[in-house]
Amino acid sequence: MYTTPRKPGRTKLVVGVAVLALLVGGGAGALGGYLTASSGAGSYNSVFAPPAANASNVTPGSVTDVANKVLPTVVEIKTQEGEGSGFIVSSDGQIITNNHVIASAAGGGQIEVDFQNGKTATAKIIGRDPTTDVAVIKAQNVSGLPTAQLGTSNGLQIGSQVVAIGSPFDLAGTVTTGIVSSLHRPVNVGDELNQGQGQGQGQGQGGGGFGGGGGFPGFGGGQQQQQQTPQVRQDTVLDAIQTDAAINPGNSGGPLVNMQGQVIGMNSAISSPNSSAQSQGGSVGIGFAIPIDQAKRTAQQIMQTGKATQAQLGVSVTDPTNGQGGAVIGDVTGGGAAEKAGLKKNDVVTKINDRVITDSDSLVAAVHAAAPGETITITLSGGNTLKATLTGKTIDVQN
């Protein structure tokens, strides 16, 4: 993974704009032209009938077999700002996608959904969570849709073959294949909540990256500002699956599936050395997907209540200044999970459960991967261990 060298002591932390690109394709006005050209928008009331595949010529467990199973459940999503992908999880039109795919339509903007059979429908936002980059939308006036089979990311192994499906560069229904290259890869994709509230509003609140934040449109470092004093950014840090399957702008929100056709991740970002906040990069074989177990937990909360609740440790963190690994505890929220566990300012966390903590991002990602109410074991640099029961924070954003 390409990384920008860290500056010692920087508080919660920014990825360089030349490193990470979120995968929304197109640009402003993409939806307007599409609505003008499409006569079927918003009028999809018939039962979905996916094209029949010639099963006699398809080897079970092949990429072709997987594509035949999954393609009918994958949609292209268009807003005024660009396009992405999503996958259908209920026959009446509930669709899981990335928050950054549809965030520009929050507050009443238009969303268009393209189905694989050429039909279209309008959609509304059911709920979204910038802190995990997960959103649920619902296509209107639809029925009988095929649904994706959700698998599990638990037990996923490096080297496992996977297939990515989505709409890169507005090419709907594109299928690529590769392997799982790495697991639990911390990927910092920026800060949406503070962009809307002013930089630094989360300073000292504790758990900035553990219950607030999000990221988008600026590809991580696109929102970096030089400031007189360090500010605690409430960044979204994905606990990502890394894959070499080719994914590109427009793939965001699409499924990463195993060879049984089960969704094991949601494609979200790529490492692209030639991208910037104003331009789109392309695949260099380093793509990142949100593990489906995390995406599914958030999506289920949204479907039930319209909002998500995420685990919170109640600290701010920085990277060590001595070149050693771990995450340095900054402010500790009074009454929070960290304080109750006995964590103190300047403690250095080296492990969460059995997971090695290499820097502040990896600590944020580890907490994001956990559920509210879960008890974690925290190992400090001296070898002492603490138990912390994570609290929950409801993410309140405009839908």
Report the pLDDT value the prediction gives residue 333, as an integer from 0 to 100.
95
Pick the closest to residue 394 from 374, 372, 363 (CA basis): 372
Q: Is 160 a catalytic residue?
A: no
Q: Give the gyration radius of the chain's Cα atoms.
A: 20
Backbone angles phi, psi at 101, to 5 degrees: -70, -40
Is residue 124 within 8 Å of residue 106, measured between CB atoms? no
Active site residue: 65, 114, 129, 133, which one? Answer: 133
DSSP secondary structure string for all residues of 318-336: E--SSS-SSEEEEEE-TTS
Does residue 226 surpass a pLDDT of 60?
no
Active site residue: 252, 271, 272, 362, which one? Answer: 252
Q: Is 252 a catalytic residue?
A: yes
* pLDDT tens digits, one per residue of 330-349: 999 999 999 999 999 999 99
DSSP secondary structure string for all residues of 40-97: -TT---SBP-PPPP-GGG--TTSHHHHHHHHGGGEEEEEETTEEEEEEE-STT-EEEE
Q: Which of 12-21, 159-168, 179-188, 358-367 has the lowest mean pLDDT?
A: 12-21
Exposed, middle or buried: residue 157 (CB in 10 Å: 0-12, 13-18, 19+)? exposed
Q: How many CB atoms lie within 10 A of CB 28?
A: 11
Exposed, middle or buried: residue 29 (CB in 10 Å: 0-12, 13-18, 19+)? exposed
Buried b (16+ CB within 10 A) or exposed e, 73-93: bbbbbbbbbbbbbbbbbeeeb
Report the pLDDT value the prediction gives residue 225, as an integer from 0 to 100.
27
**Which residue ranges make up each domain of the chain?**
30-148, 156-190+211-306, 310-395
Secondary-structure class of domain 30-148 per CATH: mainly beta
Is residue 353 within 8 Å of residue 299, measured between CB atoms? no
Q: Which of 101-105, 131-135, 312-316, 323-327 has the lowest mean pLDDT?
A: 323-327
Q: Which of 54-68, 74-88, 116-130, 262-276 has the lowest mean pLDDT?
A: 262-276
The proportion of the chain whose per-residue pLDDT surpasses 90, expressed as a percent, equals 63
Report how far residue 27's alpha carbon sits from residue 211's, in angstroms, rounded to the nearest whole number.
30
Is residue 267 within 8 Å of residue 289, measured between CB atoms? yes
Q: Which CATH architecture has domain 156-190+211-306?
A: Beta Barrel (2.40)
Report how far residue 219's alpha carbon sits from residue 15's, in angstroms, rounded to the nearest whole number.
8
Q: Is 133 a catalytic residue?
A: yes
Domain at 310-395, CATH from 3.30.1130.10, 3.30.70.20, 2.30.42.10, 2.60.40.420:
2.30.42.10
Does residue 175 surpass a pLDDT of 60?
yes
Assigned token pair, 111? 């969303």
Report the pLDDT value the prediction gives residue 377, as an integer from 0 to 100.
98
Does residue 43 surpass a pLDDT of 70?
no
Strands 174-190 and 236-243: antiparallel
Does residue 180 surpass a pLDDT of 80?
yes
- 310-395 shares the fold of 156-190+211-306: no
- Is the omega angle on the peptide bond into residue 13 within 30 degrees of 0, that is, cis? yes
Does residue 300 surpass a pLDDT of 90?
yes
pLDDT band for 244, please (50, 70, 90 cuts): very high
Assigned token pair, 145? 């849709």
Is residue 111 within 8 Å of residue 88, measured between CB atoms? no
Strands 82-88 and 94-97: antiparallel
Report the pLDDT value the prediction gives residue 240, as an integer from 0 to 100.
96
Active site residue: 65, 85, 100, 167, which one? Answer: 100
Report how far residue 17's alpha carbon sits from residue 202's, in angstroms, rounded to the nearest whole number.
22
36 or 76, greater pLDDT: 76
* pLDDT tens digits, one per residue of 304-333: 999 999 999 999 999 998 888 999 999 999
pLDDT band for 33, please (50, 70, 90 cuts): very low
Does residue 220 surpass a pLDDT of 50?
no
Report how far residue 288's alpha carbon sits from residue 286's, in angstroms, rounded to the nearest whole number.
7
